[in-house]
Amino acid sequence: MSDTVRMTLDEVRDYARATLRRVGLSEPHVVAVAETMVAGERDGCGSHGLYRLLVAAHSVASGVVVPDAVPVLSRPKPALVRVDGQGGFAQLAFETGRAALVEATCVGGIAAMALNDIVHFAALWPEVEALVADGLVALAFTPSHAWVAPAGGTKPVFGTNPIAFGWPRPGPNPFVFDFATSMVARGEIELHRRAGKAIPTDWGIDPDGNPSADAQAVLAGAMRTFGGHKGSALAAMVELIAGPLIGDLTSAESIARDAGRKGSPIGGELIVAIDPAGFLGDAAADHLARAEAMFEAIEGQGARLPGSRRHAARRASEREGVQVSRALLADIDAVAGKAK
């Protein structure tokens, strides 16, 4: 028997939704949360796919997330949107505020949305890609738990603190990147631990501050920022603009609030959206077309455009479905069964 199961994207969606219902999420959260998992599997990002059902289930079971939270939308300023997630998962808070953010951006040319009191376990690129589909340029930032040591340090201060950016392009594939300011997403280390695989020694340090290839030791110690002091500076920026600036938690405060439950990060997210027409008026299309010369110059010399791997995986999975680990599905079913 193969170690994997082939599933269509519709089957992935149905499985994710059914599991989220079994662990106790309300239907609006089920629909919103499942889509990020479908996107992860579809785009070849296994650490953000069905694996995250284990993460979500644990956050529900441990009381970290409010499973039936109803987000509350407010407009503190014409160009500012705020959504109080009421302790629920971030996906529904984003969907609650998305239309208001688009409207504010189109009216003022630029706008921002703060998501407060949310639990965040997913990648940011599905959110910026959704805004790009509305014709906007978008940036997103969120802290996480304090798992990452600053450059030159050995104790966690930062979260993995991802940054995402989206730019509209002709055709189905916008320019979208999403990366952690740590050397790697924490989910990648967790997947290596599950598989019993060694990790590169530059991913993190053990509890004694020594470089380690042992995934479990790094999970117990601290992850490293990418690019040394440069990644450390970006991580600090994310802490500030998606923490105190919007009245929410830093990564250190998030992990303290978690109080040993080992749930998903608790805190906020900042999204900034820009309407090219706000700056450029009727000339927007012409100037966006000029940007294509840069993309052509990158790909024309054989370099990979950020996001292109995901787009290639997306085309393949839409045709052929995806391969999912049988062991992972068994673990998910076991966890969901306990939640009944």
> Taking the CA atoms of the chain, what radius of gyration do you get in angstroms?
20
Q: In what order do the strands lie in the sheet with 222-224?
A: 148-149, 222-224, 204-205
CA angle 37, 43, 47 (to 5 degrees): 55
Q: Is 65 exposed, middle or buried (0-12, 13-18, 19+ CB in 10 A)?
A: buried
CB atoms near residue 149 (< 10 Å): 23
Angle between helices 125-133 and 27-42 (to 10 degrees): 90
- Beta strand 148-149 pairing with 222-224: parallel
Residue type, 202: D
Annotated active-site residue 188? The verdict is yes
- Beta-bridged to residue 274, according to DSSP, are 110, 137
Annotated active-site residue 47? The verdict is yes
Residue 331 has φ and ψ, to the nearest 5°, of -65, -40
Out of 41, 129, 188, 239, pick the active-site residue: 188
- Beta-bridged to residue 141, according to DSSP, are 163, 270
Out of 29, 48, 58, 145, pick the active-site residue: 48
The helix or strand, by DSSP H or E, that contains position 255, with its residue range, turns out to be helix 251-258
Out of 29, 35, 47, 212, pick the active-site residue: 47
Q: Is 259 exposed, middle or buried (0-12, 13-18, 19+ CB in 10 A)?
A: exposed
- Beta-bridged to residue 81, according to DSSP, are 113
- Beta-bridged to residue 84, according to DSSP, are 72, 116
- Beta strand 72-77 pairing with 322-325: unpaired
Residue 212 has φ and ψ, to the nearest 5°, of -145, 145
Catalytic site positions? 47-48, 188
